[in-house]
Amino acid sequence: MSDIDSQDDSNMSADDAEKPSKDGHIGEQSVSGPGGTPKTSLLEARDPDAFDKPTLITTRSRLAKDFRFRVMCILTACASVLILVFLLGSILGAGIPTLSWTLLTGTPEPEPENAGMWPALMGTLWVCTMCALITLPLGIGTAILIEEFTPRNRIARQVLALIQLNITNLAGVPSVVYGILGLTAFVSMFSLFDNSDNADGPSMEVGAVYYDQFSNVASDPFIDTGDTEAEERYFLFPVETRDAPSTVPKTGMLAYENSEGGLKEVEIIAIDPFADDAPTDADALSRTIDSTSDPGRISEKQWYYLRLPFGRGVVAGALTLMLVILPVIIISTQESLRAVPGTLRAGALGLGATPWQVVWNVTLPSAIPGIMTGSILAMSRAIGETAPILIIAGIVYIRSAPQHLMDDYTVMPLQIYNWTSRPQEEFHNIAAGGIVILLAILLTFNAVAVLIRHRMQNKLN
Amino acid sequence: MLKSTTLCLVATLILNISAFSVSAQNTGLLGKVAIDGSSTVYPISEAAASGFQKQYPNVKVSVGVSGTGGGFKRFTVGDTDISDASRPIKDSEFKAARESGINFFELPVAYDGLTLVAQKNNTWLNNLTIDEIKKIFLAGSAAKTWAEVREGWPNEQIRIFAPGTDSGTFDYFKEVVVGKTGGSLRSDMSTSEDDNVLVTGVSGTPNSIGFFGVAYYEENKDKLKSISIVNPKTGDSVSPTSQTIENGTYAPFSRPLFIYVNADSFKRPEMRKFVGYYLQNAAKLSSSSGYVALPTAIYKEAMMHCRKGKTGTHYLTSDLEKRSGPVTEIYQESNLVK
């Protein structure tokens, strides 16, 4: 501190030396008129009582104000840094001891010591990657349109101005509102594709295979199979469509059974338990199906599975987060495009480049560092967003990572929120561990972006 | 022939199932079970899902926490297979289910004891009668100081910490305290959706009172003391323990928690297995999640409901009027309304 003080003093003295003369000069000017040639008496102009004293006082008070302001800035900066350090310290203190391989790769369990956040981690990665892939081209494209391709037509210009106004306003809308919007727009798609028979069912889909699943009689707790012990087995009959009539099992039909090595074919026996006796042979019994039982319609989805409406899957989540961060990305991209000197554009245009060539080869490359900064901030927000995801996914317990774009998922902030609201202290501790992991992922994302930004900057220089 | 033996053996089978379901992993069963609803019931459903998926790793169970009302909204349009509920279904929700042709099984899974708590070192606040609770919490007659509640208590301001107005816990407390008079709870309470905030609030504020589920009290016994409730029928003051909640003497603040199972989904083998697992292990799962197990007879009755396909609610009359009382009296087949 003493160093700074002494520096301040020296600054002040330098200012003191310089400023009065300047002020005096201005004072002189006002009296003496243009050109600086003294028309009135020199004595009056140089009278120290008339000019120097009052200006000295005001200068001193101004400098004191300046000093106070500087101190205030230092204090606020210190306060915010201290708070951050305190928060980080307490989170790291509570979180680091609970970090474990289980927490990273495990599934959520009711026992805190076995609980992990792998599904939430993968959910976050899926949703945020999808969100970035959709949002960055859209946001940057919009910003380029508004900034670089200003139309000559007056009406078109006004439309763009209206869009600009909306984007600026949308940046301040609370994210939970976007969650509700996402629910209607992406999850149910305004009920445009509703099915009459099933509210949840998709009306269009690609990449799903449907099966009718039967249990064997041994696995039905409500059927007596006599003394013969038989293992629990389940059989699958492929069906054409989701709405196809149920399969009626008959003796001798071939069914699939899921096992370690994938689906294998099995010949089944069908009986009516109220009329026929169950086979007494253990193997036959294990292949016996109650022909009167209802099958369960299940589906197996390929990695490219797509459906309309999107339902509560990864895509709906990514699109909703897109709504949240799109305005931020557009505005920051606009800012960095504006920061590109006009001379660069003019030079390129003068060399005969088309507007597209100018944008692609000149403006965008020099704006990339700024765009990256904005995108980093926006994506960090998307990763930490809880409210919209809670509304559109609503799931906090799931044991598997998403397998396709329409799969159920949960995200890390939701998992952490759920753990902190538990009564058990141990859950609060692993929540702290979860926060540390979330922070680590955030910093990794940011580091990559900073790296890209650095590279681009070097290239330009 | 088989039919008769089946029926005879039901009771023994129900008892035996837990023995034979502890077998090795079964990778043959595939499918999905979607659960959503109350965050109070969530820990039990999570424990059930976790235990079930250890046996059937290829069944995907997902559990959400949209709240009891939010869960029913999805359940009554067929969006989910099971709805967690910390209160019985309301008439409006029941009508919605009827309209979309959804039949359901109403299955009680545990008791939750609503616990009134005070600061650990509070020496005088040991028990409360229902009338005194009304004096403290009702909007119209709200007492400002403890001296107004009972003579001899300090002339200090009452500070209240309560769960958020959207929670089932708040609804339930309001229903018990306000009753059918249509009044409301006082508005100058500190509320939070996060019960841990209430724990911190009560434990750090002298002369304060708060209420939440018994699980939060059990975990914070070192910071809080529970207030006994004077049973309006017997006049004894009863503290919330698993025993008093189970035998119904901790009245009127013990409530049953439910799962509602879509009857169409229940036809699917993986759903049958899951619901079976849930009911067979409900006693264990609920006590490990901090709740109190229901009497065994109720679980058996619930199993029978599923087995015989007895859908509908017990908590509404055929005119869709609300029915209330202890679960042991209400949960009977004769009260079912489809």
Q: What is the pLDDT of residues B62-103, one digit of tens each?
A: 999 888 888 898 899 888 999 999 888 888 999 999 888 899
Q: Does the beta-carbon distance from B194 to A277 stay under 8 Å?
A: no
Is residue A241 in a domain?
yes
**Side chain identity at B298, as an amino acid letter?**
I
| Integer Cα distance of A248 and A246 in angstroms | 6
For B78, the closest of A198, A213, A425 (CB atoms) is A198
Is the pLDDT at B55 greater than 80? The verdict is yes
Q: The dihedral of CA A385, A386, A388, A394: what is its sign?
A: positive
Tell me whether the omega of the peptide bond preceding residue B295 falls within 30 degrees of 0, making it cis: no
Distance CA B282, CA B51 (A): 11
Q: How confident is the model at residue B257 (pLDDT cuts 50, 70, 90)?
A: very high
Strand segments (E) across chain B: 31-37, 59-64, 82-85, 104-119, 127-128, 159-163, 190-192, 208-213, 224-226, 228-230, 237-238, 254-262
pLDDT at position A19, please? 43
Q: CA A190 to CA A452: how far, in whole Å?
A: 39
Does residue A22 belong to any structural domain of this protein? no
Residue A450 lies in a domain: yes
Question: ipTM value of the model?
Answer: 0.78
In B, minimum Cα distance to A260 occurs at B27
Query: What's the CA gap between B237 and B207, in Å, rounded?
Result: 21
User: What's the pLDDT score for residue B164?
Assistant: 80
Listed residues A258, A275, A308: the one ending a domain: A308
A127 touches chain B (CB under 8 A): no
State chain A's mean pLDDT as an integer.
81
Q: How confident is the model at residue B274 (pLDDT cuts 50, 70, 90)?
A: very high
Q: Looking at residue A70, what is its pLDDT? A: 96
Please indicate, yes or no, whether residues A102 and A155 belong to a single structural domain of this protein.
yes
Whether A13 has a pLDDT exceeding 60, the answer reads no
pLDDT above 90 coverage of chain B, percent: 20
Contacts of residue A428, defined as CB under 8 A and 6 or more positions apart, other chains included, come to: A94, A419, A420, A422, B196
The verdict on residue A30 lying in a domain is: no
Of residues A389, A380, A398, A382, the one with CA closest to residue A439: A380
Distance, in Å, from the CA atom of A394 to the CA atom of B318, rounded to the nearest integer, reads 33
CB-CB neighbors (< 8 A) of B70 in chain A: 394
Read off the pLDDT band of A3 (50, 70, 90): very low
DSSP B205: S
Asked if the structure places residue A430 within a domain, the reply is yes
Whether residue A222 is found in the same domain as residue A291: yes
The answer to which of A317-321, A361-365, A420-424, B162-166 has the lowest mean pLDDT is B162-166
The answer to whether A421 contacts B276, with C-beta atoms less than 8 Å apart, is no
Question: Is residue A229 domain-shared with residue A324, that is, in the same domain?
Answer: no
Which residue in the block uniquely carries the two structure tokens 């930490």? A384
Lowest mean pLDDT among A69-78, A116-125, B183-192, B255-264: B183-192
Q: What is the mean pLDDT of residues B1-27?
A: 46
In-domain check, residue A18: no
With respect to residue A146, please indicate whether it lies within any of the assigned structural domains. Answer: yes
pLDDT value at position B81? 93
Q: In this structure, what is the dihedral angle of CA atoms B283, B286, B291, B295, given to the nearest 10 degrees?
A: -20
Pick the residue with more confidence: A9 or A62?
A62
* A227, A265, A298, best to mutate vs chain B, most B CBs in 10 Å: A298
Distance CA A19, CA A35 (A): 21
Number of domains composing chain A: 2
Residue B185, beta-bridge partner list: B138
Residue A59: the pLDDT is 83
A200 touches chain B (CB under 8 A): yes
Cα–Cα distance between B50 and B55 in angstroms, integer? 9
pLDDT of residue B47: 92
Model confidence over B314-331: pLDDT tens digits? Answer: 888 888 888 777 787 888
Sorting pLDDT into bands at 50, 70 and 90, what band is B5? very low
**Would you call B60 and A234 a contact, using CB atoms and an 8 Å cutoff?**
no
User: Residue A291 contacts by C-beta under 8 Å, 6 or more apart in sequence?
Assistant: A248, A249, A250, A270, A271, A272
pLDDT (0 to 100) of residue B121: 86
Sketch out chain B's domains with CATH numbers. 16-111+256-335 (3.40.190.10), 115-247 (3.40.190.10)
Q: What percent of chain A has pLDDT over 90?
A: 35
Last residue of a domain, one of A278, A308, A338: A308
Distance of CA B60 to the CA centre of its chain: 25
- What DSSP string describes B252-299? SSEEEEEEEEETTGGGSHHHHHHHHHHHHHHHHHHHHTT-BPPPHHHH
* pLDDT at residue A320 in the model: 94
Reported confidence tier of residue A126, pLDDT bands at 50, 70, 90: very high
Quick one: pLDDT at residue B275? 93
Q: Which of B288, B257, B329 is nearest to B109 (CA)?
A: B257
Instruction: Quote the CA–CA distance of A225 and A56 in Å, as a whole number.
Output: 107
Region A15-33: what's the mean pLDDT? 43
Residue B1 and residue A277: Cβ atoms within 8 Å?
yes
pLDDT of residue A18: 43
Same domain for A245 and A107?
no
- Nearest C-alpha neighbor of B195 from the set A422, A426, A387: A422
> Among B6, B30, B79, whose Cβ lies nearest the Cβ of A298?
B30
Do A273 and B66 lie within an 8 Å CB cutoff? no
Residues A132 and A236 in one domain: no
Write the residue in B27, B62, B218 that is nearest to A398 by C-beta.
Answer: B62
At B2, is the pLDDT very low, low, confident or very high (cuts 50, 70, 90)? very low
Q: Residue A40: is its pLDDT beyond 60?
A: no
Residue labelled with tokens 């929540």? A431
Instruction: Give domain status of residue A3, yes or no.
Output: no
With beta carbons less than 8 A apart as the criterion, state whether B43 and B289 touch: yes
pLDDT of residue B12: 40
Distance from CA of A448 to the nearest CA of B (A): 33
What is the spatial distance between Cα A395 and Cα A390, in angstroms, rounded to a whole number? 7
pLDDT of residue A277: 72
Mean pLDDT, rounded, for B146-172: 84
Residues A169 and A236 grouped into a single domain: no
Whether residue A389 sits in one domain with residue A365: yes
The torsion angles phi and psi of B119, rounded to 5 degrees, stand at -60, 145
Would an 8 Å CB–CB cutoff place A397 in contact with chain B? yes
* Same domain flag for A358 and A417: yes
3-state secondary structure of A216: strand
Give the pLDDT score at B209.
92
Do residue A336 and residue A249 come from a single domain? no
The shortest C-alpha distance from B164 to chain A (Å) reads: 13
Rounded Cα gap, residues B85 and B73, in angstroms: 12
According to the model, what pLDDT value does residue A55 have? 59
Residues A165, A216 within the same domain = no
pLDDT at B165: 75
- A177 and A316 co-located in one domain: yes
Asked if residue B109 lies in contact with residue B301, where contact means CB atoms within 8 angstroms, the answer is no
Q: What percentage of chain B exceeds 70 in pLDDT? A: 92
Query: Which pLDDT belongs to residue A16?
Result: 44
Q: Is the pLDDT of residue B192 over 60?
A: yes
Using DSSP's 3-state secondary structure scheme, residue B10 falls into helix
Residue-number span of the structural domain to which A315 is assigned? 96-188+310-460
Which has the minimum average pLDDT: A222-236, A251-265, A432-446? A222-236
The per-residue pLDDT for range A139-191, each reduced to its tens digit, is: 999 999 999 888 888 999 999 999 999 999 988 889 889 999 998 899 888 87
Same-domain check for residues A295 and A315: no
pLDDT at A38: 47
Cα–Cα distance for residue pair A256/A211, rounded to 1 Å: 9
Rg of chain A in Å (alpha carbons):
35
Which whole number is the average pLDDT over B267-291?
Answer: 90
Q: Are B97 and B104 in contact, with CB atoms under 8 Å apart?
A: yes
CB of A221 within 8 Å of any CB in chain B?
yes
Record: contact A423-B215, CB cut-off 8 A: yes
Query: Among A308, A332, A364, which residue terminates a domain?
Result: A308
pLDDT category at A270 given cuts 50, 70, 90 is confident
User: Quick check: B22 pLDDT over 50?
Assistant: no
Q: Which of A176-180, A383-387, B230-234 has the lowest mean pLDDT?
A: B230-234
Model confidence at B51, pLDDT cuts 50, 70, 90, reads very high
Q: What are the φ/ψ torsions at residue B102 (nearest 5 degrees)?
A: -95, 120
